Structure formats: structure tokens, C-alpha cells
Amino acid sequence: MSVLLFTGLFSSSVQARVFLYQMPDGSRLISDHPLINTEAKLVRRTKELDNIGHYAARRSLRAKRRMRLWSYFIFHESQKQGIDDSLVKAVIYTESYFNPNATSHKGASGLMQLMPATAAKYGVSDIYNPKQNIVAGIKHLKYLMTLFPENLKHVIAAYNAGENAVNKYNGIPPYRETQGYVKKVMKHFKRFQLASR
């Protein structure tokens, strides 16, 4: 789940120092100065902003290539559960950029960023196995849809923050990460739906 966020005022010179960080929620942040006392992880330091842009473009391209590898399997498994495969692709794209080895600082792992307890619930023996991860993630989405029928945004919020949080706030929790997550998944969902047509 990665998005480029810009902070600070960059000088007109492309030679200014640029720092690319990965935030705890998986998003990316670009700064013109090093961050202090933060949980963000430094990913890259460069003197040219263009290099960061190229990094993001390459990452997006890799995600699209990986998605093509798993598109049929996602479609097939989504059909079994009666779920739109565009939604599953949107969740995977947002969660891991289709990187089967992705791991978050909270312990969520694999393509659909399953937490260990969720993976165990659906019988996953290898959380980094793409097929097992996708099947379990789809089943979890189906489960959440039974809890929040006719409200896709609540389903997506529950996938990120847990169903208890959605129930507690009777809707999308007031967490910046979750609110941003719902917007990103919905955006990609609509994009993949249009592409499938």
C-alpha cells in the first residue's frame, strides 16, 4: 500500500538532496531533509528528484507485470466466492504492489498482507505462498462482506483496521491510515473494473 507523499519545499535545483522513506503504514514519503525521531525507514537517498520518480514508475511497472501472472488465478478464486476480481486486485495492489514477499512492520505478510491469525483462520501453511495467500485473502473479504453487506467501504475499512474497529465507530474508523486506505482501494477498484471492460 504505497503512495508517494511530498513534504518540504524543494529548491528549484534538481541537485537538492532528496530522501525517500517508507512509512509504518506502507506509504512512501519524499523529503528534502532527513527525518529524525520517526518510525519511517529510509529507502533511498539521492541528489536528484527525478531518480525518485523513476523509482516509483519502475515499482508500478513491476506491480503490473506481477498482476498479469496472477490475474487468471485471482479471477478463478474470486468467482468461487462470488467476489469481483477487480476488488481483489485493488486490495493486492494497495497492500503489496503484487509483491509476494512483502512484510509490514505490523507483521502482515504476502500479496494480500495477511496477519498471522487471519492466515491461520483460513488454513494457510505458508503465508508467502501466493496461491494460499490469495485464497485466504479472498475468503476473508467474503467473510467481511457477510458482516457489512451492501457497504463496500466498510468491508475495505474492516480489511485494514479489523471488523471490531468498524463496529466500534459504526463506519470507517477515524484513523488516517484506514481512511486513506479505503480511498486508495476504491480508486484502484474502479480502475481495474474499467480495464476489465
Per residue in 108-142, pLDDT tens? 999 999 999 999 999 999 999 999 999 999 999 99
Task: Considering the candidates 48, 77, 95, 163, report the single residue annotated as catalytic.
Answer: 95
Would you list the DSSP string of 63-79?
A: HHHHHHHHHHHHHHHHH
Residue where the block lists cell 476504491: 186
Residue 95, pLDDT above cutoff 60: yes
Residues 80 and 41 in one domain: no
- Looking at the fold, whether 147 and 89 belong to one and the same domain comes out as yes
33 and 122 together in one domain? no
Q: pLDDT: is 179 or 106 the higher one?
A: 179
CATH value at residue 135: 1.10.530.10
Residues 100 and 156 in one domain: yes
- Structural domain containing residue 23: 4-56
In this prediction, residue 47 carries a pLDDT of: 59
Residue 57 has pLDDT above 70, yes or no: no
Structural domain total, the chain: 2
Shared domain check, 32 and 103: no
- 52 and 98 part of one domain: no
Query: Does 83 lie in the same domain as 47?
Result: no
Task: Give the predicted TM-score (pTM) of the model.
Answer: 0.70
Q: What is the 3-state secondary structure (H, E, C) of 129-178?
A: CHHHHHHHHHHHHHHHHHHCCCCHHHHHHHHHHCHHHHHHHCCCCCCHHH
Is 95 an active-site residue?
Answer: yes
Looking at the fold, whether 92 and 187 belong to one and the same domain comes out as yes
Residue 92 and residue 185 share a domain: yes
Q: pLDDT tens digits for 72-85?
A: 999 999 999 999 99
